[in-house]
Amino acid sequence: MGLSKDSKVKMTSVFKQGRNNLITDVAGVKVGHLTIKDDARNIHTGVTAVIPHEGNMFKDKVLAGTSVINGFGKSAGLIQIDELGTIETPILMTNTLSVGTALDTLVGYMLEKNEDIGVSTGTVNCVVTECNDGELNDIRGQHVNPEHVLTALNNAGELFEEGDVGAGTGMICMGLKGGIGSASRVFNIDDSEYTVGALVLSNFGFPGCLRIDGRLIDMSSITEKKEGDVEKGSVIILIATDAPLSERQLRRVAKRATVGLARAGSYLGNGSGDIAIAFSTANRVPHYGESSVVNIRMINDRVIDKVFQATAEAVEESVYSSLDHAHTVTGIRDKKVYALSEVL
């Protein structure tokens, strides 16, 4: 749950952690995994599902914003979020070549729960994000199937594993075993307490760039930085909060994910797909409603720096947590990737 108290990874924080130090500290948010591992067949992949609230997502949408920090990615559903400022489905994470399977399955999942979609109302904007796990996983085998996706959705809960699980099973970050990481921060505005939580799918950077709490980590014991190494891979960052924010403000929050990545050592390289999605559970936009006017609450921009700073901290720790919980793995083409614990 975020960095454990006995972890060798230490970072300085301004804000206190949430109850479980997970994105699900934002009430109503749930996360589920399905991990697919078969060493004999070089399969190291999976699916992770994030559900923004427990109700009907299509009929009761959450406000959201995105930031395409570097667009070397194949995610689905971002255009409509940017245009309308809402999310109306769970958010899926998987490997690059399984986006189609995940998208098709999520469409079916939403149709089953909403008989009106495509009949008496419009269609649905499903959100699927991805990173390339092809250095460890037989990605060409397209081993993710619809049952895997549905299991991740149905397994979603408040507590979940981190590290090389779900969509993070085959990911590599900074030359180390990456994957799923999460953290949360609590802050006060006036007399109210709010939470911001982050979840990352870490698959970015290259050896020799990792910084933890500002300190460059020596990885020479397990890997050698090669001339011409460039940053490649991807990272997907999800940010949830119960603070009342407009879609404009959520786009601004999503941009601040960059701060957390940079603190961890990323410089957002040409070949890296770095995408952030931020949403708030405080405001809901009904698909149907008696009134033609929707009342939206938002904090004053003069105090939004608290949200920015808490977001940066949560994203930074989420990256460390993805490394901290992962294990050493040998994948396809005998590629061996060590866990952070082997370095520390």
Tell me the angle at which helices 99-113 and 146-154 cross, rounded to the nearest 10 degrees. Answer: 60
Query: 3-state DSSP: the chain helix, strand, coil percent, rounded to 5?
Result: 25, 30, 40
274 as an active site residue: the answer is: yes
Please, is 119 exposed, middle or buried when counting C-beta atoms within 10 Å of its C-beta (0-12, 13-18, 19+)? exposed
234 as an active site residue: the answer is: yes
Residue 1 identity (one-letter amino acid):
M
> Residue with structure tokens 């729960």?
113
Q: How far is CA 75 from CA 18, 250, 269, 312, 316, in A?
A: 29, 19, 18, 23, 22
Is residue 2 within 8 Å of 21, Cβ to Cβ?
A: yes
Q: Among residues 274, 280, 321, 322, which one is catalytic?
A: 274
Q: 173 - beta bridge partners?
A: 176
13 as an active site residue: the answer is: no
> Other CB atoms closer than 10 Å to residue 19's CB: what's the count?
12
Instruction: Identify the CA nearest to 318 among candidates 50, 101, 80, 43.
Output: 50
The token pair at 228 is 């011409």
Q: How many helices (H) and strands (E) does the chain have?
A: 7, 17
Q: Among residues 67, 184, 234, 318, which one is catalytic?
A: 234
The token pair at 175 is 């030359």
The phi and psi torsions of 261 (rounded to 5 degrees) equal: -65, -45
**Size of the chain in residues:** 344
Please, is 5 exposed, middle or buried when counting C-beta atoms within 10 Å of its C-beta (0-12, 13-18, 19+)? exposed
Q: Among residues 67, 98, 184, 272, which one is catalytic?
A: 272
Residues known to be catalytic:
234, 272, 274
